[in-house]
Chains A and B, each alone.
Chain A
Amino acid sequence: MNDNDVVRDLTLDGNAVAGLLEEVFGADMTTADGECAHCGSANAVGALRAYTRAPGVVLRCPACGGVIARIVQTPRGTLVDLRGAAHLAVRR
């Protein structure tokens, strides 16, 4: 197993952080459609790659690998960086 395999095996997807996303956004976000601000690909948040073995959660575009969202929880609150998302369409 080389380093790339290790990283690949540590990759989850948006489904694994459904609870955190619902806590932050107040709705199920895994079915929300998002547009990547880097490459323009459209993907459901559940299909984004999720990296969870860090102090925060990073969601990346499955097409280009660009960072779409970063979410960090601290004792004082939750920081959400969404500059990699051109938009998110949340279903009713």
Chain B
Amino acid sequence: MRRPLEWQIATVKAIAQETAQVKTITLALPGWTAHRAGQHYDVRLTAADGYQAQRSYSIASPPERPGEVDLTVERIPDGEVSPYLHDVLVVGDAVEVRGPVGGYFVWEASSGGPLLLVAGGSGVVPLMAMLRHRAAAGAKVPARLLYSSRTLEDVIYRQELEALASRDGLEVFHTLTRGQPKGWTGYARRIDQPMLAEVSGPLGTAALAFICGPTALVETTASALVQLGLPQERVRTERFGPTGT
């Protein structure tokens, strides 16, 4: 029997700046339970007058780190929750959370592969949990990540992705849609079917696909992958829009 879903008070253990608009918040949890890569925690803020705002954030860390989780949060200027998490929260603060929740957009080493991950912007967060879990569990399933960002400076986890990609069986492909540094050899346009055909081709049509990003990217990618021959039931999507703030 699963434990009932209850709110608990987490403590901020660390805060790391990932990019100009993205921070990773490490929470220590008194009621930690192992999550599955791709799951979320709900975060609830309560104002002095009792007003509450609640948002769901993807877990970035793998389940192999007992007692804590990383939530990677993009700062949305007109958001209710993310500006507080970015601008006010400091190490040692208490935060009300519940989770892990969700079971649809999850990958475990036992789920197999080959694994095709497609991310747009901060949609990379749950996919990073999958890649970190894959590495921590010693899983050898072939994996490819296609990651769309505006500029190189907006790429979250850039160095860690490079390090992970130097290991066996993971390849990372970047596309930069708004600007590219001199000498850029990666893709430089929005994700489209020819790009998906190139990236997914070597994995074949038996790949297990996870797509996370803004709705337009998710829908374009999901329909292109089905047209390329992936079975619909092996294409999992999560819309990670600016409202996930």
Interface set of A (CB-CB < 8 Å, partner B): 5, 8-19, 22-23, 26-28, 30-31, 44-47, 49-50, 52-53
Kindly identify, within residues 193 to 245 of chain B, every residue whose CB is under 8 Å from any CB belonging to chain A.
214-216, 236-244
- Residues in B with CB closer than 8 Å to A50 are 239
**Is B51 in contact with chain A by the CB < 8 A criterion?**
no
| Interface residue from B98, B104, B240 paired with A47 (Cβ < 8 Å) | B104
**Is B31 in contact with chain A by the CB < 8 A criterion?**
no
Known: A22-B5, A30-B103, A31-B103. A12 touches B98 (CB 8 A): no
Could you jot down 16 A-B contacts, CB within 8 Å?
A: A9-B243, A10-B243, A12-B240, A12-B244, A13-B239, A15-B56, A17-B56, A18-B101, A22-B5, A23-B5, A27-B2, A30-B103, A31-B103, A31-B104, A46-B104, A52-B243
What are the nearest 8 A-B pairs in CB distance? A46-B104, A18-B102, A30-B104, A19-B42, A18-B101, A19-B101, A28-B103, A31-B103
- Residues in B with CB closer than 8 Å to A26 are 4
Q: How big is the B interface, by class?
A: 20 to 34
**Is B32 in contact with chain A by the CB < 8 A criterion?**
no
* A11 and B241 contact, CB distance less than 8 A: yes
CB nearest to B235 among chain A residues: A47
What distance in Å separates the Cβ of B68 from its nearest Cβ neighbour in chain A? 19
* B99 and A12 contact, CB distance less than 8 A: no
- Residues in A with CB closer than 8 Å to B237 are 13, 47
- Residues in B with CB closer than 8 Å to A53 are 243
CB nearest to A52 among chain B residues: B243
CB nearest to B44 among chain A residues: A19
* A8 and B40 contact, CB distance less than 8 A: no
* B216 and A15 contact, CB distance less than 8 A: no
Kindly list 13 other residue pairs between chains A and B, CB separation below 8 angstroms, not including A10-B243, A13-B237, A18-B56. A5-B216, A8-B216, A19-B40, A19-B99, A19-B101, A28-B101, A28-B103, A30-B102, A30-B105, A45-B104, A46-B103, A50-B239, A52-B243
